[in-house]
Amino acid sequence: MSEQVVQNKEQQILEAAEREFLKKGYDGARTTSIAKEAGVTHAMLHYYFRSKEQLFERFVDKKMDEIIPLMTHLFGNGDHPLVKRIEEAISVHFDFVMSNPDLPRFLINEVLPYKERCNLYYSKVEKFLYLFNNLQKEVNEASARGEVEQFNVLLLFQSVLSLNVFPSIMANMIENLSVNNGLLVKDILAQRKAENIELIMRRIKKI
């Protein structure tokens, strides 16, 4: 079996596993359903992935590997102005959440309450944390020069998470409210994104 065929099969299984985990949660997910959805036999699924636990770990890795490089590039790119990078990071994170609307709810319900699963998630995030120290140093220096207001980077990150994740958690309500008021969901989300950026930028920018 060629390497390309192996990679394609693995990708099909991972995509099916992602849908299964997001729809049914970790405990409700079944490897038999994942195999059927991926178009492979149950034996073949276990050939590529030994267990549901391994599939889950790869699923978490995949989602983290999608967002961390983007945020690392934005936060760590010292060639661009600090304020502009933070603004872009808020925008990129919002778009990522909206592209993965079921992921925040899954993390809240299926990962964070469980120590072992949370440790798996944190082990990926931990590699990103050094950027907060670097960014805080930049903020302190920019504030001393009078370019930005002084702020705590970790608290700012918490604010961004809260603002950007909430619309995905309340997606059904937002959709119903939009339809009932003759509005398009995409327009409401675009406005929400702009409001989030404006709110955070108002805290950062020097008046």
Q: Would you state the structure tokens that stand for residue 22, as one six-digit string?
A: 């997001």
- pTM of the prediction? 0.82
Task: For CA atoms 101, 39, 50, 69, give the dihedral sign.
Answer: negative
Res 68 pLDDT > 90: no
CA distances from 63 to 30, 42, 45 (A): 20, 24, 20
SS3 string of 37-105? Answer: HHCCCHHHHHHHCCCHHHHHHHHHHHHHHHHHHHHHHHHHCCCCCHHHHHHHHHHHHHHHHHHCCCHHH
Residue 203 CA to residue 186 CA, distance in Å, equals 26
Q: Is the Cβ–Cβ distance between 145 and 131 less than 8 Å?
A: no
With bands split at pLDDT 50, 70 and 90, how would you rate the model's confidence at 76? Answer: confident
With bands split at pLDDT 50, 70 and 90, how would you rate the model's confidence at 134? Answer: confident
